[in-house]
Amino acid sequence: MTRTLYRNGRIFTGDESRWADSLVVDGEEFIHVGTEDSAPPADAAIDLGGRIVLPGFTDAHTHLLMMGEALGQVGLTDAHSLEEIQRRLLAARRTAPGVLRGRGWLFDAIPGGEPTAAMIDEVVADIPVYLDANDYHSCWVNTAALAELGITRDTPDPIGGRIARDALGEPTGMLYETAAQLHAWAHR
């Protein structure tokens, strides 16, 4: 195994000392994090040039802040049909303060996989409804939300996103990628 000293860094430790200036890796194992003076002998050294080193973490692409906000929204991940989604929205409408937000719906719960504002309007038409898809890459809204956002047939698609439209060019209630970010999510 090759033992490598990483020196001259700002290494965040998370413990009481918070920072170290070196670490030693033996194969795939960290065997030292601390001062260079106290480091065991190494076969090679890499100068970090004062760079910061942080503990590794795996980004599971979770949209962490949105997931936290979602805890107070209507849960739709296990709603396996449009009828179930509509039932939950109708039940939540009774206590909604003026805007209804939901999260986690799946495209395969919607007939043809193409949600429309009209599908939400059937049960909640009087207040804006914003429903984030399970992957947080799109937002399904009702007619009241389209009006609140000022989205019309003349609203251009943003770069990197799309406002779904019917054959006549009218918005259908689906906002994809940056259209969801710039319109629905910026309006929270």
Q: What is the pLDDT of residues 151-182, one digit of tens each?
A: 999 999 999 999 999 999 999 999 999 999 99
The CATH number of the domain holding residue 105 is 3.10.310.70
pTM: 0.67
Distance between CA atoms of residues 10 and 146, nearest Å: 49
Q: Are residues 172 and 137 in the same domain?
A: yes
Is pLDDT larger for residue 72 or for residue 122?
A: 122
Summarised one tens digit per residue, pLDDT across range 18-30 is 899 999 999 989 9
Name the helix (H) or strand (E) containing 68: helix 64-70
Of the pLDDT bands very low, low, confident and very high (cuts 50, 70, 90), residue 97 is: confident
Q: Is 156 inside a domain boundary?
A: yes
Q: Using DSSP bridges, classify how beta strands 74-75 and 138-141 pair: parallel, antiparallel or unpaired.
A: unpaired
Mean pLDDT, residues 50-75: 77
Q: Is 59 inside a domain boundary?
A: no
Q: What is the pLDDT of residue 102?
A: 95
Summarised one tens digit per residue, pLDDT across range 135-147 is 889 999 999 999 9
Of the pLDDT bands very low, low, confident and very high (cuts 50, 70, 90), residue 60 is: low
Residue with tokens 């919607």: 110
Name the residue type at position 90: L
**Is a pLDDT exceeding 90 seen at residue 42?**
yes
H helical segments located in the chain: 64-70, 82-93, 117-121, 143-149, 178-179
Q: Are residues 154 and 99 in the same domain?
A: yes
Q: What is the pLDDT of residue 131?
A: 97
Sign of CA dihedral 150, 83, 73, 113: negative
Extract the tokens encoding 1: 């195994």
Q: Are residues 72 and 165 in the same domain?
A: yes
Averaged pLDDT score across all residues of the chain:
92
143 burial (CB, 10 Å; 0-12 / 13-18 / 19+) is middle
Q: Are residues 48 and 121 in the same domain?
A: no
Q: What is the pLDDT of residue 59?
A: 63
State which residues form the domain around 25. Answer: 3-53
